[in-house]
Amino acid sequence: MMLTDYILIQLNGKPFNCIPGISLRDIILYLDLDFSSVVIEYNSEIIEKCDLSKTKVTAGDKIEVVTIVGGG
């Protein structure tokens, strides 16, 4: 059995354990969210969708995932 070290980040204001160096894209996939309907704020900056794969999280990061909902 292989043990993995985890880091603690804040995801939508709540503690979230993840593997070191995971990308924002992989977190969105893990959460099973639609890329076309979310906006990602990473440490108080909006991240462009094209940068999600290359943005790697580190311990203590703060991530806000905002889901865009259409309506009328």
Task: Provide the residue range defining the domain that includes 41.
Answer: 1-48
In a domain, 39, yes or no: yes
pLDDT in tens, 37-59: 999 999 999 999 999 999 999 99
User: Is residue 61 included in any domain, yes or no?
Assistant: no
Q: How many domains does the chain have?
A: 1
Report yes or no on 60 lying in a domain.
Answer: no
For the record, the structure tokens of 67 come out as 């889901």
Q: Which secondary structure element, helix H or strand E, spans residue 38, and what is its range?
A: strand 38-42
Q: Considering the domain boundaries, does residue 14 fall inside one?
A: yes
Q: Does residue 58 lie within any of the structural domains?
A: no
Kindly state whether residue 10 falls inside one of the protein's structural domains: yes
pLDDT per residue over 4-31, tens digit each?
789 999 999 999 999 999 999 999 999 9
**Which pTM value belongs to this model?**
0.86
